[in-house]
Amino acid sequence: MKHLIIYAHPSINSFSFKLKDAIINQIKKRGEELVLRDLYELDFDPVLRPGDLGQLKKGVTPPEILAEQEYLKDADMISIIYPLWWAGFPAILKGWIDKVLAYGFAYEMSKDGIVGKLKGKRVSLYTSMGNSLEQYEEKNLLEAFKQIHGEEIFEFCGMEVSIHKFFPQIPDASEDVIKQHIDESIEEFKEMCDNL
């Protein structure tokens, strides 16, 4: 199985960084293929400029985006690890989505409507958050996040979202809570991989 990790957090001291390393270790234990795309380390340019959009619409894809699309095309399992900032993705990850999941590569129009072109891929999303789950649930935001961050992007492109895990109150979490979150996530990850 080929795993692709898209990682979008700028701090090496973050919960997201620890979770990323735990998932990498699990993949290595399984002896499976892994590609890590650390968007901050890569200094990925998230800005879609007017000229870029015109070129993409013509089917002209820059080499750096073609490379990202190849990693995605080759992967069976995609894990996306990111913090929730202002109820959305970090800008660097949103830009990756805008550029990489382009028309013609990730989806296209057919006589029956839009068709996702990345079928057969599983996605797991890991979202760290500042507030409690109750604060998000009071506003019905958790279901909205699952739909907007997962279904409306990855399932739209034909992939299956197998896991979308939220980690509340991460800035204030103790080391014990962080360890528990990581251990539970790895168990779910192993179970998902075993069932493929």
Per residue in 138-156, pLDDT (tens digit) is 888 888 999 999 999 999 9
pLDDT computed for residue 194 by the predictor:
87
pLDDT computed for residue 50 by the predictor:
84
Q: What is the share, in percent, of the chain residues with pLDDT greater than 70? A: 100
Residue 180 is part of which domain span? 2-194
Q: For residue 108, list its beta bridge partners.
A: 115
pLDDT computed for residue 172 by the predictor:
92
Number of alpha carbons in the 13 Å side-chain half-sphere of residue 71: 19
Count structural domains, the chain.
1
Alpha-carbon distance of 144 to 117, in angstroms, equals 24
pLDDT computed for residue 195 by the predictor:
82
Alpha-carbon distance of 181 to 167, in angstroms, equals 7
Contact, 152 vs 116, CB < 8 A?
Answer: no
Q: What is the pTM of this model?
A: 0.94
Q: Sheet with 122-128: list strands edge to edge.
A: 33-38, 2-7, 77-83, 122-128, 160-167
Tokens coding 76: 């069976």
Residue 81 sits in a domain of what CATH number? 3.40.50.360
Mean pLDDT, the chain, integer: 93
Would you say residue 134 has pLDDT above 80?
A: yes
Q: How confident is the model at residue 137 (pLDDT cuts 50, 70, 90)?
A: confident
Q: Which residue has the higher pLDDT, 113 or 91?
A: 91
Contact, 16 vs 7, CB < 8 A?
Answer: yes
Give the DSSP letter of residue 132. -
Residue of 176, 185, 196, 147 whose CA lies nearest to 23: 185
Per residue in 152-181, pLDDT (tens digit) is 999 999 999 999 999 999 999 999 999 999
